[in-house]
Chains A and B, each alone.
Chain A
Amino acid sequence: MTMADTTQFLSRREKIIANLAVILLAVMTLLPFLWFVIMSFKPVDQIFAGVSGLFFTPTLENYAGLVNERFVRSIWNSIVTSTVSTGLALVIGVPGAYALSRAGLKRDRTMSLLILASRMAPPVAFAIPYFLVYRTLGLLDTQLGLIIVYLTFNLALVVWLMRNFFDATPRELEEAAWIDGASLWGTFVRIVLPMSIPAVLTTGMLCFLYSWNDFFFALTLTRNSAMTAPVEVVNFMNYEGWEWGKIAAGGTLIMAPVLVFSLLMRKYLVAGMTAGAVKG
């Protein structure tokens, strides 16, 4: 990206003021987040110690407190449900997106609307019917139940983003392979898929993030054995009093992978959140 120098017309004073404003805004943005992370390393008594609690010896005791069967299981549930749902969405969605792109079907607004709306609909619209059906099928409080629900947003996202990717990819390579006598399946598996690996990985990471971040479905469709980490952390607020140390440690653990992933692919964040209707 070549960028014209937009600072050339700014006076020295303007530049200083703008820089200071950005610093101030960045501090205001980061402070709540940093405070929380720091809190997770504080001894419990220092959390309530007021200003004197600013000076403390970092400890891992809050994290050690999380090593119990319930919390470890909830992290495991988060990992399994997010990973499997992402994998399924990719396996089903990527070939479909390829077909949509190459079959030359016209992009129509109805489909765009349905895919966007299924992403934007309030989760409660799905939670109610899923709750009723799962009660009958015995899928309440199971990993499989969550995996299926996460497909409601993951699959639409995969189809949408990967279709955009395939639309922007020239089809000459495939056509050359066909002319050389390669089969349709062979071309898809040996030529199309390898060249889409980066796009598939990015899309997969986005799906993983949305599933990992889910709170509403886990809250309404699990009770105990399939409960994911976001809901388990909230339970530290209810059952055993307000264990702020554990809450901060648990919250920091949940956000760590998300933070790493999403900063790695910040270019695609907006495309993901708007189901590809707006690129970032």
Chain B
Amino acid sequence: MGDTGRAAMAEGPRRTFASQQNRFFWTLLSPVLVVLGVVTLLPTLYLFITSFTPLSLATPGTAWNFSAPFSNYKLLLTDERLHNSLWVQAKLSLATVVLQLLLGLVIAILLNMRTPLMNALRTSFLIPMVLPPIVVAIIWKVLYSPDISPAWWLFDWLGWQGVSPITDANWALAAIIVADTWEWFPFTMLILLAALSQMPEEQREAARIDGATSWQVTLYITLPYLKGTLLVAGLFRLIDSIKTFPLIYILTDGGPGTVTEVSNYYIFSQSFNYSYIGYSSAVTMVLVLIVLVLSWAVIRTVSGKGHDHG
């Protein structure tokens, strides 16, 4: 605003400086716009176009074939394996978001007490989140493999006979949920800790002086204060849970059967294992749409709340 105002009022040499400035800014900006357009918008457009073709790499002549443009989208409605994958995704997302919010909240509230011991241990809680996702997946593969997992030595010792949860249709999804929760609770924890460190003390102190217990303070003052932050953190985890990939790829490969096959994974196998690119593109468009809607919700929430998270 300031610049345009000043530019409008300026005369003579000042005006030419303003237009020089304008040219300079566009020179700096145009490479970004061009490159972003080429690397992100064009591919998305291509994906959109492909979703109207029956493109399959195994069948020649399917690339730019628009004879039945909506057949992929019609198939979406009747593809039971896709519906199953959306349902699996919903279960996985809901469970992990709730668990990560809970665990993140508990640890954030604990760490916010800031005893010397806690300050020393603080960083260790970040480790799962910063590890390469593929390494996280391998770590849990080790833990879920009976012949090398320390957990199974303990089970042996206790005399339990357990199969690995990742090969058991009843437990495979739970196994993924546990691993994913371990990987991502640090994220919600960090956001909540940041919000807690900016929480005004007066209210809590007043409540303490009036004789409220720690539980009451947490329940009636801290939690309501964190409501907005919990929403944002939850939304972010929700969007991110749609791209869960390495865990499923390494731990269960979508199985047993299709019990852990989320939509993202279904698309991966349809497109890169079976080459049904046209149909996969249509399914991907649906996922992209979901991500767009959720991202929009995030932006609304964050910008509506102003600097609360700053």
Instruction: Give residues in A with beta carbon < 8 Å to B.
Output: 1, 3-4, 6-7, 9-10, 14-15, 18-19, 21-23, 25-26, 29-30, 32-33, 35-36, 39, 47-48, 50-51, 92-93, 95-100, 102-104, 106, 109, 112-113, 116-118, 120-133, 148-149, 151-152, 155-156, 159, 178, 184-185, 188, 209, 212-213, 215-216, 219-220, 230-231, 233-234, 237, 244, 247-248, 251, 254-255, 258-259, 262-263, 266, 269-270, 273-274, 277-280
CB nearest to B266 among chain A residues: A124
Identify 9 new A-B residue pairs, CB closer than 8 A, beyond the known A113-B299, A278-B309. A7-B113, A95-B31, A113-B295, A120-B243, A122-B291, A188-B28, A234-B138, A270-B194, A277-B298
CB nearest to B183 among chain A residues: A32
Asked if A251 meets B236 with Cβ closer than 8 Å, knowing A4-B201, A50-B156, the reply is no
CB nearest to A117 among chain B residues: B295
Q: Which B94-119 residues have a C-beta within 8 angstroms of A?
A: 107, 110-115, 117-118
Q: Does B310 contact A (CB under 8 A)?
A: yes
| Total B residues in contact with A, Cβ cutoff 8 Å | 104
**Of the residues A132, A234, A263, contact of B50 by C-beta under 8 Å:** A132
Residue interface bits B230-271, CB-to-A below 8 A is 1, else 0: 001100100110110110011000000000000010011001
How near does chain B come to A63, taking the closest CB pair, in angstroms? 16
Considering the chains assembled together, what is the distance between the CA atoms of A262 and B186 in angstroms?
13
Q: Does B219 contact A (CB under 8 A)?
A: no
Considering the chains assembled together, what is the distance between the CA atoms of A133 and B42 in angstroms?
11
Considering the chains assembled together, what is the distance between the CA atoms of A230 and B294 in angstroms?
30
Considering the chains assembled together, what is the distance between the CA atoms of A266 and B288 in angstroms?
29
Q: Does B272 contact A (CB under 8 A)?
A: yes
Considering the chains assembled together, what is the distance between the CA atoms of A93 and B24 in angstroms?
15
**By the criterion CB–CB under 8 Å, are A124 and B157 in contact?**
no
**By the criterion CB–CB under 8 Å, are A233 and B25 in contact?**
no
Q: Does B123 contact A (CB under 8 A)?
A: yes
CB nearest to A159 among chain B residues: B32
**By the criterion CB–CB under 8 Å, are B182 and A270 in contact?**
no
Considering the chains assembled together, what is the distance between the CA atoms of A132 and B113 in angstroms?
53
Asked if A255 meets B131 with Cβ closer than 8 Å, knowing A26-B124, A132-B50, the reply is yes
**Of the residues B42, B239, B281, contact of A128 by C-beta under 8 Å:** B281
Asked if A96 meets B32 with Cβ closer than 8 Å, knowing A51-B153, A133-B46, A185-B24, the reply is yes
Q: Does B36 contact A (CB under 8 A)?
A: yes
How near does chain A come to B76, taking the closest CB pair, in angstroms? 16
**By the criterion CB–CB under 8 Å, are B107 and A25 in contact?**
yes
**Of the residues B1, B35, B123, contact of A151 by C-beta under 8 Å:** B35
Closest 5 CB pairs of A and B: A96-B32, A262-B130, A129-B43, A99-B28, A95-B28
**By the criterion CB–CB under 8 Å, are A255 and B28 in contact?**
no
**Of the residues A33, A113, A118, A128, contact of B139 by C-beta under 8 Å:** A33
How near does chain A come to B293, taking the closest CB pair, in angstroms? 10
A–B complex contacts, Cβ < 8 Å, 24 sampled: A3-B197, A10-B113, A21-B110, A22-B107, A22-B118, A23-B117, A39-B148, A51-B153, A93-B32, A99-B28, A112-B299, A113-B296, A121-B243, A123-B243, A125-B288, A129-B43, A131-B271, A151-B39, A219-B249, A244-B142, A244-B148, A259-B130, A259-B131, A269-B190
The interface residues of chain A lying within 8 Å CB-to-CB of B35 are 92, 151, 155
Q: Which B20-61 residues have a C-beta within 8 angstroms of A?
A: 20-22, 24-26, 28-29, 31-33, 35-36, 39-40, 42-44, 46-47, 50
The interface residues of chain A lying within 8 Å CB-to-CB of B9 are none
Asked if A280 meets B191 with Cβ closer than 8 Å, knowing A10-B113, A99-B28, A123-B243, the reply is yes
The interface residues of chain B lying within 8 Å CB-to-CB of A231 are 134
**Of the residues B114, B132, B291, contact of A120 by C-beta under 8 Å:** B291
**By the criterion CB–CB under 8 Å, are B190 and A29 in contact?**
no
CB nearest to A251 among chain B residues: B135
How near does chain B come to A172, taking the closest CB pair, in angstroms? 12
CB nearest to A106 among chain B residues: B1
The interface residues of chain A lying within 8 Å CB-to-CB of B17 are 178
The interface residues of chain B lying within 8 Å CB-to-CB of A26 are 121, 124-125
**By the criterion CB–CB under 8 Å, are B191 and A124 in contact?**
no
Considering the chains assembled together, what is the distance between the CA atoms of A30 and B1 in angstroms?
50
Q: Does B164 contact A (CB under 8 A)?
A: no
How near does chain A come to B48, taking the closest CB pair, in angstroms? 9
**By the criterion CB–CB under 8 Å, are B40 and A118 in contact?**
yes
Q: Which B47-99 residues have a C-beta within 8 angstroms of A?
A: 47, 50
The interface residues of chain B lying within 8 Å CB-to-CB of A259 are 127, 130-131
Q: Does B277 contact A (CB under 8 A)?
A: yes
Asked if A133 meets B214 with Cβ closer than 8 Å, knowing A95-B28, A278-B191, the reply is no
Residue interface bits B151-167, CB-to-A below 8 A is 1, else 0: 00100110000000000
Asked if A263 meets B31 with Cβ closer than 8 Å, knowing A10-B113, A132-B50, A151-B39, the reply is no
